[in-house]
Structure 1
Amino acid sequence: MMWMLRFLLFALIIFAVYSLTKYLLNPKRKLELAHEQKRFYFFDDENNVHKNFLLTYKGVLFEGEKYLGTTENAFEVVSIFIWPRSVSELKGLVKEDFLFIESKIREHYSSAKIDWKSPIKEFLEKNDPEYPK
């Protein structure tokens, strides 16, 4: 009976360590933490084109929709549409912030054309008539 209790206690400790590790390494939790701390974090499943990516920057949560297409050599993500989850959180962001976000997305999807949805699209076009590049 004593061996069984020891085994159950050992199994419980292993399960607790496993659960804690799984929780700490969860990318969704990291996204939420970065959003609260107003840091940049990019959350994406690059192997699943149908799944939208999320990113947070300066306390604003953005969602991006990926579209698969052909390039000269392969099938890749060729178009991305990005929008903020809450437009009211955009207060204080400047053009350089959106260009920074675009550069971070291009690190993952170099051949993709990035399009912003309203009102960011109008903001970027108003401040730079030659936008998009």
Structure 2
Amino acid sequence: MMWFIRFLLFALIIFLIYSTIKYLLNPKRKLELAHEQKRYYFLDDQDNVRKNFLITYKGVLFEGEKYLGTTENAFEVISIFIWPRSIASLKGMVREDLQFIERKVSEQYPNAKIDWKSPLKEFMEKGNSPTTPFGDLI
């Protein structure tokens, strides 16, 4: 009986260590932590084209939808639509912030055309100065 209790205790300790490591390495947790700290983090499964990616930058959470198409040599992601999860969180963002996000997405998907959904699309198309905040679009 004593061996059985020791075995259960040992198994419980191994399970707790495994669970802790798995929790600390979870990409969703890293995304949430970066979002809270208003840092940049890109969460994506590049092998799964149907799964949207998430980007957090300066406290704003963006979602991107990938579309597969053909290039000269292969099937690749050729089109990406990006939108904020909450439009109200865009307060204080400037054009350079969105251009930074475009550059980071282009690094992962160099053959993709990046489009923004409204109201970011209208903001990027406006001829305002590069540091103009969103203002009346929110």
User: Please, what TM-score do these two structures have when normalized by structure 2?
Assistant: 0.91
Structure 1 partner of 2:72: 72
Give per-residue Cα distances to partners, 1:59-84, cap 9 Å, x unaligned: 00000000000001100000000000
The 2-side partners of 1:18 and 1:127 are apart by 53
Give per-residue Cα distances to partners, 1:33-71, cap 9 Å, x unaligned: 111110000111111101111110000000000000000
* Structure 2 counterpart SS, 1:103: helix
The 1-side partners of 2:9 and 2:40 are apart by 41
Structure 2 partner of 1:113: 113
* Structure 2 counterpart SS, 1:97: helix
Structure 1 partner of 2:30: 30
Q: How many Å apart are 1:96 and its aligned residue?
A: 0.5
The 1-side partners of 2:100 and 2:26 are apart by 25
* Structure 2 counterpart SS, 1:63: strand
The 2-side partners of 1:49 and 1:33 are apart by 25
The 2-side partners of 1:60 and 1:72 are apart by 35
Structure 2: gaps of 5 or more residues: 129-138
Structure 1 partner of 2:90: 90
Structure 2 partner of 1:123: 123
Q: How many Å apart are 1:127 and its aligned residue?
A: 2.9
Structure 1 partner of 2:13: 13
**Identical aligned residues as a percent:** 77
* Structure 1 counterpart SS, 2:20: helix
Structure 1 partner of 2:51: 51
Structure 1 partner of 2:135: none
Structure 1: gaps of 5 or more residues: 129-133
The 2-side partners of 1:8 and 1:40 are apart by 42
Give per-residue Cα distances to partners, 1:84-123, cap 9 Å, x unaligned: 0000100111111001001111111010000001111111
Structure 1 partner of 2:39: 39
Q: How many Å apart are 1:24 and its aligned residue?
A: 0.6
AA in 2 matched with 1:76: E
AA in 2 matched with 1:115: D
AA in 2 matched with 1:67: Y
AA in 2 matched with 1:18: Y
AA in 1 matched with 2:29: R
The runs of 4+ residues in structure 1 deviating greater than 4 Å are: none
